[in-house]
Amino acid sequence: MKTSTRRSVLGACILLAAAGGAYAYWLSLVPATHPDHDHGILNLDAGGRILVTTRDGKSRNLVGRPGKPLVLHFTSPEAPGAVEELAKLFDAERKLRSLGDAEILVVTKAKDFHAVDAWLAAQKLEPPRPNEIVLDPSGDTTTKLNCKRPIETMVFTAEGKLSAQSRGPLEWGTDLPGLLEKARGGVTLE
């Protein structure tokens, strides 16, 4: 093998190793969780990647300052009580008519939107804003956010700080306005 060929092969190996290292580092960027606590990530603005899939097929990174109160509701079509919980959430959203500056995302552990839409139709559920439903097909996002139950809700402030968390069902009609008001006021769990 010629010297120039060896240098080219060595250079390619070094570049490949550097690219592999950079990719591994990018995958590892996740805000710190607190496994010894019974809450999810306290601060979305800690950097990293927590991705969900939107209806247009793009990835959305939940990390960062959302700029407005953000409600993340985790569910799965297989979860007991999911139908009733979503019916109450959608009804509360319709009654509020306007969330103001807040955003609600329903993080659904499902393989694709066709499956989710079929499940919603079979349950006679119609989201007031279909784009509020996002996918977490592998469950990776749910795990990274330290979600431990099939029905869970996390509310973040505009700065990305955890304001409230509910492990299990909520009374959306009475709870949602109060949760949003706390988040707007900058109230955090810790």
121 or 35: whose pLDDT is higher? 121
Alpha-carbon dihedral of residues 40, 45, 47, 53, nearest 10 degrees? 70
Q: Residue ranges of the domains in the chain?
A: 31-184
Where helices occur in the chain by DSSP H, the ranges are: 3-28, 82-96, 113-122, 140-144, 172-184
Q: Is 70 left (phi over 0), alpha (psi -120 to 50) or beta?
A: beta
Q: Are 110 and 116 in contact (CB under 8 A)?
A: yes
pTM of the model: 0.80
The stretch 4-31 carries a mean pLDDT of 79
> At which residue do the structure tokens 């010297």 appear?
3
Asked if residue 140 has pLDDT above 90, the reply is: no
Q: pLDDT-derived band of residue 97, with 50, 70 and 90 as boundaries? A: low
Q: Are 32 and 125 in contact (CB under 8 A)?
A: no
Q: pLDDT-derived band of residue 98, with 50, 70 and 90 as boundaries? A: low
Q: Considering the domain 31-184 in this protein, what is its CATH number? A: 3.40.30.10
Distance between CA atoms of residues 49 and 66, nearest Å: 14
Q: pLDDT-derived band of residue 32, with 50, 70 and 90 as boundaries? A: low
**Phi, psi at residue 59, to the nearest 5°?**
-90, 140
- pLDDT for 149 equals 78
- pLDDT for 138 equals 87
What's the full length of the chain, in residues? 190
